[in-house]
Amino acid sequence: MKIAIIIPAHNEELFIHLTLDSLVQQSLAATQIVVVDDNSTDRTFEIASSYSTSLPIKVVRTSSSAENIPGSKVIQAFNFALSQIDLADFDIICKYDADLIFPSNYLEQIATRFYAIPTGKKEDKTIGMVAGHCTILKEGHWEIENQNNPDHIRGALKAYRRECFQQIGGLQPSIGWDTVDEMLARFYGWTVVTIPELHVKHLKPTGAAYNAKSKYLQGEAFYKMRYGKLLTFITALKMAWNKKHFNLITDYLKGYQLAQKNNLAPLLTEEQGRFIRKYRWNGITSKLGFPSRN
């Protein structure tokens, strides 16, 4: 059971020691951890490097824009770190953020789902992705981070069976990457598993560091994933309701329109786009009590 963990990090000196401390304490150790310091101006590199005697860690540097552009910046850093290892040497590939605190049995729980260890039960080789759930601190209590679907794995917390990771073509440096990966996994017949009781503390809520220019990018993602206008509107309405920010509807729709106007390249083929639309519509109709669309 060989686990590779890649942690992209940009100015994470306040948090990365907590993430690495929690990885030191794992009941099942990672085989290799790669921290990629992406253009940090603080002590991120030095702090991560200080764990060389307690973790199988490699710390590398790369340089990208200082602006936190959703999707592209973090995946470009991830892909750089990925080039520093031999993928064939590992069974599980993880992309984790640098502001997480893992329970001590996290990696063991993940491996158990992938490979039925240590339970000894028959391995389910269709499982392609596994994760717990991110929690954020609200009024003194850790609560599940707001999300649209309980079967969605947050971008902060991805783990892939190597064969699944390779079949989906790795991770795409674009807004929407953390939905595209799951949908492509399902498209190719893999199962995506979330573990309801397995909670990870997420110290910075998703999107906390995004700037004002990012507000249209979610709509761009819907366009690139071939949602279509009606599904985009319904999804934008649901996300705005969940976040209690109804101006997001306008932002997402405008983002979609701008992407359409600029004729941006989609992230999925037409066949894959039909699959994702069907999957999303089935999710909507099932919640309304209607039969699934064939």
> Can you read off the two tokens belonging to residue 160?
């892939």
Confidence class for position 115, pLDDT limits 50, 70, 90: confident
Residue range 78-98: mean pLDDT, rounded: 96
Q: How far apart are CA 157 and CA 226, in angstroms?
A: 25
Residue 167 lies in a domain: yes
Residue 292 lies in a domain: no
> Are 97 and 234 found together in one domain?
no
> Are 100 and 41 found together in one domain?
yes
At 283 the pLDDT is: 84
Angle at CA 95, nearest 5°, toward 99 and 110? Answer: 95
> Are 71 and 126 found together in one domain?
yes
Residue 256 lies in a domain: yes
Contact 45, 34 (CB under 8 A): no
> Are 271 and 179 found together in one domain?
no
- Residues forming a β-bridge with 137: 142
Residue 160 lies in a domain: yes
> Are 194 and 220 found together in one domain?
no
Q: What is the pLDDT of residues 159-181, one digit of tens each?
A: 999 999 999 999 999 889 999 99
Residue 208 lies in a domain: no
Average pLDDT, the chain: 90
Contact 19, 96 (CB under 8 A): yes
Containing H/E element for 205? Answer: none
Q: Is the pLDDT reported for residue 124 higher than 90?
A: no
At 242 the pLDDT is: 77
Domain's final residue, options 202, 225, 248: 202
Domain that holds residue 86: 3-202
Contact 219, 251 (CB under 8 A): yes
> Are 195 and 97 found together in one domain?
yes
> Can you read off the two tokens belonging to residue 45?
């590199």
> Are 130 and 184 found together in one domain?
yes
At 211 the pLDDT is: 47
Neighbours of 192 (CB within 10 A): 19
Q: What is the pLDDT of residues 258-278, one digit of tens each?
A: 999 999 999 999 999 999 999
Residue 207 lies in a domain: no
Domain's final residue, options 202, 233, 266: 202
Residue 157 lies in a domain: yes
Structural domains of the chain, count: 2
Q: Is the pLDDT reported for residue 56 higher than 60?
A: yes
Neighbours of 38 (CB within 10 A): 27
CATH number at residue 87: 3.90.550.10
Confidence class for position 65, pLDDT limits 50, 70, 90: low
Residue 250 lies in a domain: yes
> Are 22 and 141 found together in one domain?
yes
